Amino acid sequence: MSIQNCEHENNNTVNCGNESNNSTSNKFFSSVERILKARLLAIEAQIAFSSNELKGAVQYISEALELDCKNPIYYINRAFYHERLNEFEHALKDTETALKLDESQEHSDHSLYLKAKALIGLEQFDQAEKCLLKIRSSSNKPKIPFLDKDLLILRLKRLVAASYTIPLARLYASKYPNTIEAFTAIEQNCNFLIEKKLNESDPKLHLMLIQQQQQHDNRYKICTWLEDQQVQSLFENEAKHFVAINNTDYEDDEIYFSDEEERDVWYSHPDKWQKPKDILKIVPRRFDDTKE
């Protein structure tokens, strides 16, 4: 995202009301001087980030905000640095400020995305999912190419956090568009399988039930009219065509919020988000649901 300026009067001084003791002299700069100096500080922040000096990046961008406190891009950048430092509460606060200042909503998708990551860091998964869904439902075409993948992984993380097995969580996370529907379907299907005295944790059986529900145009009504023998036969037939999601379980650290290497290629640093990127013409790698 290239550094951009907020609109200010050219000949007036601007008081952001947020100066530190070290920046007392800055309040007498003209608005143009303040904006230019803020831009230089933002560039210094980017250089510090490139050198993996995240604390320094936060300091530089904070000084830029003392000079140009109405620029939502600087808040987005600082939220990015805070999130990388696992300072999720600070990141959340900055994204909310950026959303308030961004009246044109030109950068709202990036603000919401970083807000979602901060909320995930705070384990507020429900609110994080709402942020990502809001981006997807935006009238503007989303700029975040991994959005659907991130939503899938977030659903998976929430289901695993609720103590469901990873194969089962993967199945329902991929079959339902939001976590509430996934939770509802799992609960109803598990009750049905328990009633039939079958293995309620077997993903193959759950897949069959999901398909049966969808065929009858009502995913929340279980096919209780099937006789036990018919149910067992359907389960066996489905199992022949369904490859088990996992034969072995996953470690917790293998459930991730998208792939950081892929994300760095697509997003890079926030200061570069608005620059033309030929890589966006490349089709992203498909999400592989199997363990490599």
277 confidence band (pLDDT: 50, 70, 90) = very low
> Do 128 and 38 belong to one domain?
yes
Which residues lie closer than 8 Å to 31 by C-beta, 6 or more apart? 8, 9, 10, 11, 12, 13, 14
**Number of separate domains in the chain:** 2
Mean of the pLDDT values across residues 33-48?
91
Is 72 contained in some domain?
A: yes
Decide if 248 is inside a domain. Answer: no
Q: Which residue has the higher pLDDT, 190 or 247?
A: 190
**78 domain residue, yes or no:** yes
Full residue range of the structural domain in which residue 235 is found:
155-241
Find where tokens 């959005």 sit: 147
Same domain, 86 and 195: no
**Hey, is 146 helix, strand or coil?**
coil
Asked whether residue 4 is domain-assigned, the answer is no
Do 111 and 35 share a domain, yes or no? yes
DSSP-derived secondary structure for 264-288:
HHHH--GGGTTS--GGGGSPPPPPP
**Segment 208-267, tens digit of pLDDT:** 778 777 665 444 444 544 555 655 565 555 555 443 444 444 444 444 445 555 555 555
What are the tens digits of pLDDT across the range 77-96? Answer: 999 999 999 999 999 999 99
Write the CATH number for 117: 1.25.40.10
pLDDT in tens, 120-131: 999 898 999 999
Tens of pLDDT along 200-218? 778 877 887 787 776 654 4
Same domain, 167 and 123: no
Task: Note whether residue 292 is domain-resident.
Answer: no
Q: Which of 19-28, 56-65, 117-126 bottoms out in mean pLDDT, i.e. has the lowest?
A: 19-28
Q: How confident is the model at residue 59 (pLDDT cuts 50, 70, 90)?
A: very high
In a domain, 113, yes or no: yes
For the chain, percent of residues with pLDDT exceeding 70: 61
- 39 and 89 together in one domain: yes
Whether 186 is covered by a domain: the verdict is yes
Q: Give the DSSP per-residue string, 51-111.
A: TT-HHHHHHHHHHHHHH-TT-HHHHHHHHHHHHHTT-HHHHHHHHHHHHHH-TT-TTHHHH
Assess contact for 164 and 206: CB atoms under 8 A.
Answer: no
- Same domain membership, residue 262 and residue 117: yes
Answer yes or no: are the C-beta atoms of 169 and 289 closer than 8 Å. Answer: no
Q: Is residue 162 part of a domain?
A: yes
For residues 37 and 83, state if they share a domain.
yes
Structure tokens at 6: 């907020």
The vertex-15 CA angle with 10 and 20, nearest 5°, equals 130
CA distance 84 to 26: 29
Percent of the chain past pLDDT 90, that is, above it, reads 29
Phi, psi at 31, each rounded to 5°: -60, -40
Token reading at 106: 């030109």
37 and 105 part of one domain: yes
Amino acid at 275: K
Are 125 and 61 in the same domain? yes
* DSSP-assigned states of every residue in 216-267: TT-TTS--TTS-HHHHHHHHHHHHHH---S-SSPPPGGG--SS-HHHHHHHH
Kindly state whether residues 64 and 166 are assigned to the same domain: no
pTM: 0.67
Dist. CA 254–CA 198, nearest whole Å: 29
Q: Report whether 164 contacts 189 (CB < 8 A).
A: no
Residues 182 and 46 in one domain: no
Q: Are residues 138 and 167 in the same domain?
A: no
